[in-house]
A and B are shown apart, each in its own frame.
Chain A
Amino acid sequence: MKKSLTLVLILFFSLLISSLSWAGEAIKIGVPLSMTGPYTDTGDNYWKGIKMAVDEINQSGGLLDKQLEPVRFDAQEFAPERVMQGADYLCGKLKVDSIHAGWAGWGQDVRAYGKYTAPFFADDGSQASVDVYRQDKKQYNNIFQLTDTGINQGKSMFNVLMALPYEYPNKKVVIITADDAWGTEVGDTLEKNFEKQGWKVAMHELVPYGTNQWGPLLTKIRKIKPAIIHVEIVSAQEVVTFFRQFMKKPTNSILSYGYSLVPREVLETMGKEADGLIGEVPTAMPTPQAPTPEAQAWLNKFNKTWSHLPQAGSWAAYSGVKTWATAVSAIGDEKKHEEISNYIAANGYKGETGWWKWDKDHVMRAGGDVPIAHYQVQNGEMIAIFTDPPAKPYKDYKFQIPRWIKK
């Protein structure tokens, strides 16, 4: 019994090790994304961007004449020990030279990957991550956020709502968010900003994921008759059911969906039915017409490779890989992690739309050449109507007053 147990154990662990060790001249990069569970879809969006960047680099002769070899790790549902395990596996065991993640654990990832030196790119969009970073900037020097925080995105949503060429019938707003870190961060920011401007936050409701019966809330909303309803739940089922149940008897309210407009099923399911909804994508390439010819070429290429338009995160993750590759070429040695991180922090990266710059918190703040794009659904398509900061209309696209608003 004991013998067989030892054998079994040795067999398991030797298999474990042998499956992990590789030979050959390649630069390994770690890709910890959610491959199973509820975050699978977002993980997929990031992966498509990363894969595209890696393939591009490999096809053009590799990086420093070496091929890139992405190693994937299933981050599952981002339980603390899972995040840590990913860091220990990719950085500790495989000694990868960079890590490209998307949503990665909202602060937990900074702690886990900060123990190592390889540059780490995440798309957390969370103040929690920044707070952890600030605790020890030297230790976390290798951490880079590809997206601005929820606080700044919330501010941006507010700015654009105020900038819309539309006269609000009253100053009442209803905020409904998911009870996760992202939702509360955006919700609290919006509430603060609205109140500062003299608006009345008539209802600020946290809802758990999986909510699909909105009757009781809509009853209250119909009584309040707010000028704006902001919904921030990044999951298609919740926002589609909300919209449909709202439309049974709509109020004269602008429906602002923030980042919840992003899951592709929202538009796939509703198509033109969703016309009028507004939302935002940070670190985004505005569609349908990109700001520069290079960006347009990138959009077309993505569309050809994956046969759909990029989702939120794809371009950010792609740019993360490119940023790192540029820095490695400049330094000339992928193993000099510290210098590469310093190079990125100091120089940034010139992408398809212009410069990406990281601030002192290693966050790619929105603005400049990579602003936050604000969309409205028009004719079943996401049309960029504003970019922010500073809030300005994008190209010739115009905001349309939603069909449910009656004068």
Chain B
Amino acid sequence: MFIEIIDVIISGLINGSVYALMAVGLTLIYGVSKAFNFAYGSLYSLGGYIAFLLFSLAWINNYLLVFCLAAPILLVIGFFLEKLLVAPLRKRDDWEIKVMMITLGLALFLDNSFQVVFGARMKSLPTMLEGSFELGEFILSYQDVAIFIFSIGGILLFRWFLNNTRTGMSVRAVAQNPEGAQIVGIPKEFVFAATFAISTVMVGMGGILLAQKYFITPTGGWDILVKAWVITAFGGMGSIKGSLYAAFIVGMLEAFVGWHFGMTWTLIALFAVLLTTLAVRPQGLMGKWG
């Protein structure tokens, strides 16, 4: 029994780290610009497909190179998506719903374009690390460890960026008070676009990181979107720390419910916990912006 529980905790931790990486990008855009990005899942798939294309080039054979090449591509894509699709809507009163609609349209467009270009069949990427190590009764594959380290490392790096760089600080300033930030000379519009771009990079990188384990499919992003959405709301939209905690709670919850009650109950349990949390704390665990 004890060993089993440790085993389940390990699965929960690995899931949690994956979810954390997924949720941070979404919570960032919402926290800074109050925009909800429905195409978030499609951008996850986009990252996977970009890596797939890069790997099909003869001279690319390792993940480091793929990360270095994919990041700027994703950054540019994210930046222009915001400038072209989201920014023009911001002037309107009902821009929140319009942003949801336009990103939903974008998701439909992207997902089905993937299907036409790459086919409906799933694509796989080479594994980053082979093998696993055993600790007595427990087995951990190097792949999972790598995913764990990359996720947590990515988030910590991102926190450092927000707290210690000039751009990061202006992002925080805009998140706290857009008008105030503008008054002190922070280019609000640029910060919005930059946040969107950074979030695209984060989710796209997540797509690359996870594709080796979970593969790339044209519509695979929806699950990611829903999970990320649940976690950000649970942790408090806009709160990075909240998302981090929420991700691990959700990971653990899924692992234990799946183990004890069965996999069909995980989704129901997840939403039950979410609803209870929101009923008590409408802003989520650590949300600051209602």
Interface residues of A (CB under 8 A from B): 36-38, 40-41, 44, 179, 205-208, 210-213, 215-217, 219-220, 222-223, 236-237, 240-241, 244, 248-249, 263-265, 268-269
User: Which chain A residues border B254 with CB–CB below 8 Å?
Assistant: 213, 216
- A63, B214: Cα distance in complex, Å: 47
Which residue on A lies nearest to B115, using beta carbons?
Answer: A40
- By DSSP majority rule, is chain B's interface helix, strand, loop, or mixed? helix
Neighbour of A237 across the interface among B15, B215, B258, B267, CB < 8 A: B215
Alpha-carbon distance between A358 and B214 when the two chains are bound, in angstroms: 41
Is B283 located at the chain interface by the 8 A CB criterion? no
Main secondary structure of the interface of A (DSSP, over half): helix
Q: Are A216 and B264 in contact (CB under 8 A)?
A: no
Per a CB cutoff under 8 Å, which of A215, A220, A222, A240 touches B215? Answer: A240
Q: Are B124 and A269 in touch, CB under 8 angstroms?
A: yes
CB contacts (< 8 Å) of A216 on chain B: these are 8, 11, 254-256, 258-259, 263
Contact, CB under 8 Å: B258 / A223: no
Q: Is the CB of B213 closer than 8 A to any CB of chain A? A: yes
B11 and A215 within 8 A (CB): yes
How distant is B151 from chain A, measured CB to nearest CB, in Å? 14
Other-chain residue from B4, B7, B122, B139 in contact with A265 (beta carbon distance below 8 A): B122
Contact A269–B122 (Cβ < 8 Å)? yes
A41 near B214 with CB under 8 A, answer no
B262 touches A205 (CB 8 A): yes
B214 touches A211 (CB 8 A): no
From A213, A215, A236, contact of B7 by CB (8 A):
A215
Extra 17 A-B pairs, beta carbons < 8 Å, given A219-B8, A269-B215: A205-B262, A206-B263, A207-B264, A211-B263, A215-B7, A215-B10, A215-B12, A215-B14, A217-B258, A219-B259, A236-B121, A237-B215, A237-B217, A241-B215, A249-B134, A265-B121, A269-B122
Q: Is B219 positioned at the interface, with any CB of A under 8 Å from its CB?
A: yes
Which residue from chain A places its CB closest to the CB of B143 in the assembled complex? A244
Q: How long is the Cα–Cα vector from A26 to B253 in the complex, in angstroms?
A: 60
How does the 8 Å CB contact mask read for B120-139 relative to A, with 1 for contact and 0 for none? 11101000000010100001
How many chain B residues sit at the interface, stated as a range, is 20 to 34
Closest partner residue, chain B, to A219 (CB atom): B7
- The A-contacting residues of B in range 73-125, CB under 8 angstroms, are 112, 115, 120-122, 124
Could you say which residues of chain B place their CB within 8 Å of the CB of A212? 213-214
Q: B163 in the interface, Cβ–Cβ < 8 Å?
A: no
Q: A269 → chain B, closest Cβ, in Å? A: 5
Which of A244, A265, A269 has the most CB atoms of chain B within a 10 A radius of its CB? A265
Q: In the complex, which of the residues A38, A211, A269 contacts B219, with contact meaning CB atoms closer than 8 Å?
A: A38
Q: Give chain B residues whose Cβ lies under 8 Å from the Cβ of A40.
A: 115, 120
| Assembled-state Cα–Cα distance A295/B264 (Å) | 43
Report how far A222 CA is from B8 CA in the complex, Å.
12
Interface residue B276 (Cβ < 8 Å from any Cβ of A): no
Task: Give the residue name and chain of the A residue nearest to B7 (CB).
Answer: A219
Best-surrounded residue of A210, A215, A263 (most CB of chain B within 10 A): A215
Ranked 5 nearest A-B pairs via Cβ: A215-B11, A216-B259, A216-B258, A40-B120, A207-B263
Q: Are B132 and A248 in contact (CB under 8 A)?
A: yes
Asked if B214 and A241 sit within 8 Å, CB to CB, the answer is yes
Residues of chain A lying within 8 A (CB to CB) of residue B259: 216-217, 219-220
A269 proximity list for chain B (CB < 8 A): 122, 124, 215
Query: Which residues of B4-24 have CB atoms within 8 Å of chain A's CB atoms?
Result: 4, 7-8, 10-12, 14-15
B205-223 near A? 1/0 per residue, CB < 8 Å? 0000000011101011001
CA distance A349 to B12 in the complex (A): 55
Contacts of B15 in A (CB 8 A): 213, 215
Chain B residues whose C-beta falls within 8 Å of the C-beta of A38 in the assembled complex:
219
Q: Does B141 contact A (CB under 8 A)?
A: yes
8 contacts between A and B (CB under 8 A): A40-B115, A208-B264, A213-B258, A215-B15, A219-B8, A219-B259, A249-B134, A265-B124
Q: Nearest residue in A to B18 (C-beta to C-beta)?
A: A213
User: A241 with B8: in contact, given A215-B255, A217-B263, A248-B141 (CB under 8 Å)?
Assistant: no
Smallest Cβ-Cβ distance to B132: which chain A residue = A248
For the complex, what is the distance from the CA of A269 to the CA of B211, rounded to whole Å? 12
Residues B264 and A237 in contact, CB atoms below 8 Å apart: no
For B112, list chain A residues within 8 Å (CB): 36
| Distance from B17 Cβ to chain A, minimum over Cβ atoms (Å) | 12
Is the beta-carbon distance between A236 and B122 smaller than 8 angstroms?
yes
**How far, in angstroms, from A222 to B138 measured CA to CA in the complex?**
11
Closest CB in chain B relative to A2 CB, distance in Å: 27
Name, among A208, A219, A223, A244, the residue most crowded by chain B CB atoms within 10 Å (CB to CB): A219
Asked if residues B139 and A249 are in contact (CB atoms below 8 Å), the reply is: yes
Which residues of chain B are within 8 angstroms of A211 by Cβ–Cβ distance? Answer: 263
Given contacts A265-B122, A269-B124, contact A237 B262 (CB under 8 A): no
Give Cα A374 to B112, complex, Å. Answer: 35
- Nearest residue (CB) in B for A220 is B259
Q: Report chain A residues within 8 Å CB of B139.
A: 248-249
Contact B262 A206 (CB under 8 A): yes
Q: Which residues of B contact A217 (CB under 8 A)?
A: 258-259, 263
With both chains docked as a complex, state the minimum distance between the C-beta of B262 and any C-beta of chain A, in angstroms.
6
For residue A219, which residues in chain B have a CB less than 8 angstroms away from its CB? 4, 7-8, 11, 259
